[in-house]
Amino acid sequence: MSKLNVDQKTIMLLFSDKKSDFLIPDYQRPYAWEEGQCQTLWDDIFTFAFPDNNYEKFDKNEEYFLGSIVTFENENNKKEVIDGQQRLTTLMLLLRAFYAKFGNMQDENSKSTRERIAQCLWKTNEFGQADLNVLKIDSEVATDNDKDEFLEILRTGVVTKDQKSNYAKNYIFFQQKIDEFLSEFPSYFAYLPARILGNCILLPIEAESQDTALRIFSTLNDRGLPLSDADIFKAQFYKHYGAKNQKDIFIEKWKELEEISSRIFKPINGTPMDELFTRYMYYVRAKQGIKSSTTEALRKFYEKGKYSILKQDETLPNLKTLVDFWNDVYSQNSERFSPKVLRKLFILNYAPNGMWTYFLSVYFLHNRDEKDLLDETNLIKFLDKIIGFVWGFSFTNPGVNALRTPVYAEMIHVVSDKAVNFEDHKFDENTFKTAINNFEFKNGRPITRSMLTWWAFNSELQSLPNLNTAFDIEHIFARKRQENDKSLSNSKNLEALGNKVLLEDKINIRASDYRFSDKIKYYQGFTNDKGQHKAGTIISELIDLSNSKSDFIEQDIINRTDIIITSFIEYLRENELIK
């Protein structure tokens, strides 16, 4: 069982402790507090210490809780801060501003308070005297270009005109608030910092290891952003490139990775950078020959061998190459991809699960040429293969967990230069027909939208929209129509695949309750009574239907369902996925 040391302490007791030697580690995010948060902190503390602006109303037995600070003692005997770095940094700035203001005050209360503050900011000797050359806090945040300003402000108590960091701005803010306070309460000035030191409480939680500290943070923190796996990885990269005297180069590259990842990845869980590392993980797994369907947690995977994967010189360039590839996928870059490839990638973006992104990442990293491009013929063949298999597997073995076994094995085939053929998982035609014919294509099921996307966009006659184009699922034979006239003999046909089609969401809202004859103008586009033109759909099948039919009846649903299913089975056969 992990051991914890938990005991609330006043700021004075915590900061002045000789063992208090705080380190904000390199994997932390930069200091982000701005004036608004500092104003709130000041107001809260001032209201507590001077109730109703009256120093005499203060109850010396009262305490004000400022929050927790989660740390662990690292190999250099420093308290590495996992949670609480923002408030810890801000409190240090506040105390330093008070210390500077006390500089010319000679009364005993002021001198005593100044000495106590000094014990919180600097290391002390055995007589309790502060060594003004050795601070009690240090920052190694890899992507914080301003951390040196923070340390310089603590050392000198001075902000220069060219310092524009949050550290400098917040320090100036506290100086201004202290000046205002001093002008209003000159006789009682020393009481405020004394009450901050002696009656404001922090809850230091000291864990025995980094892992334990991170777990505590994840449990306690319901505000802000917890440290991600990528933050931890950043620290390892930083140390690796620091040892090669390439810290600045690394920081620049890391920021670029973060910027692109944040723009293109929208993961349900974790951060965009975590998603990039996940996609790369599958490539490394495949190269290591791992086909186990049990996938390790991201950090557990990378921390093996003391993060040996991250210390390989190829890893950071590979991550950049990979994120550039996905940037081109999501931006539909026609300079990298042909129209045929873009069509396949568009369809895959509507896949019933995200497994294809890992599979394609493996394929790309292994098969790219010296210009990071892929052979188009082989890529199209691969994309068709995974579209057919992922779609088909959703009918026979629903759930992404079941998909892991065949896909992980094929990932290893990719990095071994073997053909992707799903030999052990090809579909039995009769079994597959039964499964797809009995499937209920409810709108909430991802495969419903997947099938409609495949059907609409597999045709080269269909124009390709942007990936951010919003589509709804349209009932060609409207639900409202069935409610009104019950003209379908089998009500299940209302939800049949043959009665559904993709339609731009704004059009779908206008057309949803109309009879087919009324829908035609919405499908084709029209000009309203005010002379405003309402664009029609880009879905070519709907335009063809609206040009060739005056009504869409039950037999049309049955026929269209059969055509879509038959065509998909033929697609599986063409891609050698039928036994």
- Tens-digit pLDDT profile for residues 476-531: 999 889 988 889 999 999 999 999 999 999 886 666 667 898 899 999 999 888 88
Please tell me the predicted confidence (pLDDT) of residue 472. 95
The model's pTM: 0.74
How many CB atoms sit inside 10 A of residue 430's CB? 9
Measured in whole angstroms, the distance separating CA 84 from the mean position of its chain's CA atoms is 21
Over residues 538-572, the pLDDT tens digits come to: 999 999 999 999 999 999 999 999 999 999 999 99
Tokens of 136: 């009690």
Strand partners, 374: none
Please tell me the predicted confidence (pLDDT) of residue 110. 79
Please tell me the predicted confidence (pLDDT) of residue 315. 97
Please tell me the predicted confidence (pLDDT) of residue 223. 44
The answer to whether 64 touches 201, Cβ cutoff 8 Å, is yes
- Give residue for tokens 């940094």: 89
Q: Residue 161 carries which DSSP code?
A: T
Please tell me the predicted confidence (pLDDT) of residue 1. 40
Please tell me the predicted confidence (pLDDT) of residue 8. 87
Tokens of 230: 């990528």
Q: Which residues of the chain have pLDDT under 50?
A: 1, 222-224
Q: What is the 3-state secondary structure (H, E, C) of 453-467?
A: HHHHHCCCCCCCCCC
For 523, residues 6+ apart whose C-beta sits below 8 A from its C-beta are 503, 507, 511, 536, 537, 542, 543, 545, 546
